[in-house]
């Protein structure tokens, strides 16, 4: 019997824009879809394209304060620029643009639909590329994120009696999701990200392991600049994978940001599609019902390649390492020189890599001493 998979279809996003000079480009979603289509990944026998229903205010209130939602909606409908820094709205990072509330709700509704399909309709995997807004906090916008789709969807899964493992491989710490579930043992949050010592959002240190009933259920692997494919895979294999297996969740929820890649303009890691695909294949092997969302990525071709690889892995499809000719022509006309989907394994320069290796090994040792005994005892 074929595994059922669902890709959440985006509505027309042409009316939304963070601004010409903002690093977040809405066009990346169209590029990713074009590449999936070029590989024949949008008409697979067991997949469905699904359109979500609108998210309700009551569902949003499980993750956000009423006053924040009111202000976001008010600003969204305003005819002139607005700002309220108490709510993180209107600065360079989180601009207020016409329809920003509707834009944010699109991501939440898609992720909520993905969670529903996996938990209620028997889908093996559901992927919402428009999700992944992991910085949004209970009462404010942060890090380009206005509403936290993962928190809303995980709350839905918890209400259905599910235990959830949340894995975040974005270059930025998944602080909003961690904060939402820091005191519970029903959600295991694992984040692999660039170190908050010098990088936004300044959190995600090894010592953040949860509190109260949640102690041991918050896991962070902060990477130094120049962490490459091998170090990324090492951290995943020695910490994330065994903890996911030990927790044995009812639902695996992954945030698949592509800003860990070495050519991303905002980050300092040196991962490629090689390390990214390796992690996805290991996740697929777990055979756990799987909800996936997009996330960061400020090189649009990296985003398109990463999420195409992700959707192929979710559907057990092997792809040619060379981009399809029609797609190569399309992106050449747009000024992109890329010709390959898959990168060779990349190693950082020796001195920089040694410092990153020392940091990874220190993080792994800390987590094995402080987190593994708690989680393995509780789940044993």
Active site residues: 135
Residues 240, 247 contacting (CB under 8 angstroms) = no
Tell me how far apart the alpha carbons of residues 367 and 175 are, in angstroms, rounded to a whole number: 18
Dihedral sign for Cα atoms in the order 248, 249, 254, 260: negative
Which two tokens mark 200? 């936004």
Contacts of 230 (CB under 8 A, 6+ apart): 275, 345, 347
Tell me how far apart the alpha carbons of residues 328 and 320 are, in angstroms, rounded to a whole number: 13
Tell me how far apart the alpha carbons of residues 135 and 257 are, in angstroms, rounded to a whole number: 12
């Amino acid at each position: 019997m074929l595994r059922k998979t669902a890709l959440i279809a985006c509505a027309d996003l042409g009316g939304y824009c963070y601004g010409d000079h903002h690093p977040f480009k809405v066009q990346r979603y169209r590029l990713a879809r074009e590449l999936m289509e070029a590989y024949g990944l949008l008409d697979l026998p067991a997949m469905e394209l699904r359109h979500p229903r609108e998210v309700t205010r009551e569902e949003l209130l499980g993750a956000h304060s009423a006053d924040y939602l009111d202000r976001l909606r008010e600003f969204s409908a305003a005819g002139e620029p607005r700002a309220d820094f108490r709510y993180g709205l209107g600065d360079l990072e989180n601009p207020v643009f016409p329809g920003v509330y509707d834009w944010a709700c699109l991501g939440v509704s898609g992720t909520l639909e993905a969670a529903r399909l996996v938990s209620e309709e028997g889908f093996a995997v559901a992927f919402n590329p428009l999700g992944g807004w992991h910085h949004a906090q209970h009462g404010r916008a942060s890090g380009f994120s206005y509403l936290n789709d993962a928190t809303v969807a995980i709350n839905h899964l918890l209400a259905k009696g599910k235990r959830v493992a949340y894995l975040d491989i974005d270059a930025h710490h998944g602080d909003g999701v961690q904060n939402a579930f820091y005191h519970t043992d029903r959600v295991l949050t694992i984040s692999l990200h660039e170190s908050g010592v010098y990088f936004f959002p300044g959190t995600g240190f090894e010592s953040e392991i949860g509190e109260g009933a949640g102690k041991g259920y918050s896991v962070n692997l902060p990477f130094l600049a120049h962490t490459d494919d091998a170090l990324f895979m090492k951290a995943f294999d020695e910490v994330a994978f065994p903890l996911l297996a030990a927790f044995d969740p009812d639902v695996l929820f992954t945030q698949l940001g592509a800003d860990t890649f070495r050519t991303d303009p905002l980050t300092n890691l040196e991962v490629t599609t090689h390390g990214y695909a390796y992690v996805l294949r290991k996740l697929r092997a777990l055979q756990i019902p799987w909800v996936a969302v997009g996330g960061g990525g400020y090189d649009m071709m990296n985003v398109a390649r990463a999420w195409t690889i992700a959707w192929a892995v979710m559907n057990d499809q092997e792809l040619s390492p060379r981009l399809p000719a029609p797609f190569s022509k399309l992106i050449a006309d747009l000024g992109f020189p890329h010709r390959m989907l898959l990168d060779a394994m990349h190693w950082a320069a020796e001195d920089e890599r040694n410092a990153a290796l020392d940091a990874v090994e220190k993080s792994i040792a800390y987590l094995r001493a402080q987190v593994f005994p708690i989680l393995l005892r509780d789940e044993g």
